[in-house]
Amino acid sequence: MTAIQKNTFSTLTPAQFAAIGSDLDAIRNRVRADLGERDATYIRTLVKRQRQFEVAGRAMMMIPPVWAAGVAALSVSKILDNMEIGHNVMHGQYDWMNDPALHSKNFEWDSADTSKNWKITHNYEHHTYTNVLNKDHDIGYGLLRMSEDQKWEPRFLANIPLTLLLHTFFQHFVAVQNLKLEDVTVYRTKTTAQLKEEFKPVWKKMRKQLAKDYLLFPALAGPLAPMVFTGNLLANLARNVWACAVIFNGHFPEDVEQFPESVIENETRGQWYVRQLLGSANFSGGRLMHIMSGNLSFQIEHHLFPDIPAHRYAEIAPEVRAICEKHGLPYKTGSFAQQTLSTWKRIAKLSLPSGKSGKVSQRMATVSTPAPVAMAMAA
């Protein structure tokens, strides 16, 4: 397995991992203990703004002179709903409020994906096994080749157009992510009957979302139905492209690392933290950029503390960075444009069999003989 490269992290000792773990735990505990009215007011205000944008957007779309403003407002509404509100609430960031409307158990978002499936693929699989090949389905979504340790197949020649397709129909791809379509279409490890059964609850949600945006609201507009239909299509598209771009920037810039399955055997809390650190990247921006990206501009902080209210990440980022410096760990960040460019470079390189940009990190000094990386989705 030549792809496994030795790097600086393989020099970390168990004591260093433990120290990193306790440094980060200290931040987590301090912020958790401080949660209160400020956070409650923040998320409630944001929910209120989202509802205002949504109602205003849907109304303006029915008035031709302000149609474009309506599309923009609904786009903002959908982005807020999915990112700073939905994604974060479903992480349990506000569970401590004990408010059923803002509890991860109950919250449903304005997206084709069911919150139930999302919590499995995202909260559990992606956040527990971040950037671990074969375990974290977000590495390529079963559609793309995002790591050189994913065995190359001819279909990956289409890595770039497929990535564009993923951006365009992001909500629907995410909605079927938990079905693992590639197991049926490519690897044939799942039957169509199984797939149909699993698709039922997804279709139930998708249908309601489609009916709302493409039948009911247009119908309410009477003769202006085509304008509302088009406006809703554009707002959904804007949300899809933006959400996908933000997520890709968090895990796929070229310097972000991926890991073999062996790292999660007997992984300690400190090691888990370090894997989250190495497997994520931030991008810089102002307050508006952070809100609109659901604070995933602080992807590193988010992966360390997925259930700390995201608006707190900006406050703790300097401390996390200091801990990285103290222990000689990289803290990956750049502008939105830099991270996007880097991500697309990786996507382009990996469409070819010789792609060598994604590296799998072997960071445990304790693992003397690295376990072979299982080939992605090998039958």
Partner 1 sequence: MSATAPRPFSLRNSLHRALRSRLASTLAYPHGVDRYVEHFAPTFSLSEVRAEVVAVRHQTADSVTLSLRPNGNWQGFRAGQYVRLTVEIDGVRRIRCYSPANSVHATDGLIELTAKTHAGGFVSKHLKQGLRAGMTVGLSQAEGRFALPDVRPARVLLISGGSGITPVMSMLRTLIDEQYRGAITFLHYSNAAKDQIYAAELAEIAARHPNVTVLRGYAEAQQGGELEGLFCRAHLNAVPDFGEAEAFLCGPPGMMKAVQALWADEGLSARLHVEHFSAAPVVVDSANADGDVQFARSERYAKNTGATLLDQAESAGLKPESGCRMGICHACTCVKKAGRVRDTRTGEISDAGEAEIQICVSVPVGSVTLDL
Q: Does 375 bind partner 1 (CB under 8 A)?
A: no
3-state secondary structure 341-378: HHHHHHHHHCCCCCCCCCCEEECCCCCCCCCCCCCCCC
Q: Which is nearer to partner 1, 76 or 166 (CB)?
A: 76
Site for partner 1 in 310-349 (CB under 8 A): none
In whole angstroms, what is the distance from residue 324 CA to residue 53 CA? 39
Buried b (16+ CB within 10 A) or exposed e, 326-347: ebebbbbbbebeebbebbbebb
Q: Does 268 bind partner 1 (CB under 8 A)?
A: no
Choosing from 3, 32, 56, 214, the residue that interacts with partner 1 (CB under 8 A) is 32
Choosing from 1, 59, 63, 211, the residue that interacts with partner 1 (CB under 8 A) is 211
Choosing from 56, 127, 155, 338, the residue that interacts with partner 1 (CB under 8 A) is 127
Cβ proximity of 145 and 237 under 8 Å: no
Q: Which is nearer to partner 1, 37 or 265 (CB)?
A: 37
Query: Least separation, in Å, of the C-beta of 217 and partner 1?
Result: 7
Cβ proximity of 257 and 94 under 8 Å: no
Q: Does 354 bind partner 1 (CB under 8 A)?
A: no
152 burial type by CB count under 10 A (0-12 exposed, 13-18 middle, 19+ buried)? middle
Q: Does 40 bind partner 1 (CB under 8 A)?
A: yes
Q: Does 26 bind partner 1 (CB under 8 A)?
A: no
Q: Does 214 bind partner 1 (CB under 8 A)?
A: no
Q: Does 233 bind partner 1 (CB under 8 A)?
A: no
Choosing from 78, 87, 119, 363, the residue that interacts with partner 1 (CB under 8 A) is 119
Q: Does 204 bind partner 1 (CB under 8 A)?
A: no
Q: Which is nearer to partner 1, 303 or 346 (CB)?
A: 303
Which residue, among 279, 250, 278, has the nearest Cα to 343 in the 3D structure? 250
Those residues with Cβ within 8 angstroms of residue 185's Cβ, 6 or more apart along the chain or in another chain: none
Number of H-type helices and E-type strands within the chain:
17, 4
Q: Does 177 bind partner 1 (CB under 8 A)?
A: no
Q: Which is nearer to partner 1, 217 or 283 (CB)?
A: 217
Which residue, among 260, 248, 253, has the nearest Cα to 150 in the 3D structure? 260
Helix or strand or coil: residue 47?
Answer: helix
Choosing from 66, 108, 186, 327, the residue that interacts with partner 1 (CB under 8 A) is 108
In whole angstroms, what is the distance from residue 75 CA to residue 119 CA? 24
Q: Which is nearer to partner 1, 48 or 188 (CB)?
A: 48
Q: Does 38 bind partner 1 (CB under 8 A)?
A: yes
Cα torsion 205, 122, 77, 169 to 10°: value is: -70
Exposure of 80 in the CB half-sphere (CA atoms within 13 A):
21
Q: Does 96 bind partner 1 (CB under 8 A)?
A: yes
Choosing from 15, 33, 288, 379, the residue that interacts with partner 1 (CB under 8 A) is 33
In whole angstroms, what is the distance from residue 67 CA to residue 336 CA? 29
Site for partner 1 in 49-88 (CB under 8 A): 51-52, 55
Phi-psi region of 374 (alpha: psi -120 to 50; beta: other; left: phi over 0): beta
Q: Does 203 bind partner 1 (CB under 8 A)?
A: no
Residues at the interface with partner 1 (CB under 8 A): 25, 28-29, 32-33, 35-41, 47-48, 51-52, 55, 90-92, 95-99, 101, 103-105, 108-110, 119-120, 123-124, 127-128, 205, 208-209, 211-212, 216-217, 220, 269, 306-307
